[in-house]
Each structure stands twice: as C-alpha cells, then as structure tokens.
Amino acid sequence: MSEVHEGGCLCGRVRYRVTGAPRRTLVCHCSFCQKMTGSSCYAESMFPIGAVRFTGDLMSLYSHRSDESGKLVYVNFCPTCGTTVELTFERWPEVCAISRGTFDNPNWVHVDAHIWTRSAQEGAALPAGTHCYKKSLFTLDGTPEVPERFDAQVNLGERGVA
C-alpha cells in the first residue's frame, strides 16, 4: 500500500490527501512565487494529478500568465483564509504542486532543488549539496538545465548574487 499524507489550509476548511511520494519538491525563488506568497520563496511538492484528493470547501482560483513561458499558472487557494494550497499548470496538466507548508507534517518531503535562484532575494541561503538552478529545471523546449551544487551553504547578497 502506498504512503498517504494529509494537509490543509490555515483554517482547515480545505483538506487534502496525497498518495505516494512526490515526483520532486522544489523551492522556487521566482518573482511570481515571491508575490504569490508575500515571502522570499515558495516550496512545492509535485504530484501526479490523480495522487491528490481534496475534501471540504471548494478552492478559489487565480490565473496568472507566466512571463517566461506565456502559459497559465493556476493558484488554488482557500476562499476563507487565503492559504495557497495548490498550483496547477497549463504547461504541465498532468501534475499539481502542493504547497509544502500545508502538509500536516511538512518535513516528510525532502527538498530536491532550488529553482529561479537568479531572482532570489538578498539574504536567501542555498544549501550545500542541493541542485540549484538559475532558472527552471528545463528550458522551454524541454532541454534539461545544468544545476549548480555548492560544497557549503551559499548566502545570497545584494540582488540575489552569490
């Protein structure tokens, strides 16, 4: 039987259950994620759409057109407390991103990589031994990007420059 984990929004009106491990967990430092969270980054665990089941209130939806791909990113959030619970993507309709902080135990998932580090805010730290990408894991045509890996933690200075 597959591993099952649960989570939900701040007020508890939106709940979910995921089955199995995420495809990957990313920390994104892009300007969209900074605005969406009101913070320096967004941690997301990527799952196949069929691995996630929602219960409780229906979520509200905000559609944002990506500056990079031109494709829509759908922000799914609790209409009561405003917690961003899930992102879905026009570009990748088979997956969804669950906000790592909404898991009842967010530490069950391991961060695989940091993306969009070129946009990271001053003071952000990139951990040692973790793949770090200046942009995304893949170019728009699907070519894999080459990550950076650091032997020691890197603290980003002015305008995200290491």
- Write down the CATH number for the domain with range 4-160: 2.170.150.70
Convert the pLDDT of each residue in 99-149 to its tens digit: 999 999 999 999 999 999 999 999 899 999 999 999 999 888 889 999 999
State the pLDDT at residue 120: 93
Q: Is 44 helix (H, G, I), strand (E, B) or coil?
A: strand
State the pLDDT at residue 157: 74
Convert the pLDDT of each residue in 40-56 to its tens digit: 999 999 999 999 999 99
CA distance 54 to 36: 21
State the pLDDT at residue 4: 96
C-alpha Rg value of the chain to the nearest Å: 16
Residue 156 binned pLDDT confidence (cut-offs 50, 70, 90): confident
Give, in order, the Cα–Cα distances in Å from 30 to each of 18, 50, 67, 81, 111. 26, 27, 10, 24, 16
Domains of the chain, residue spans: 4-160
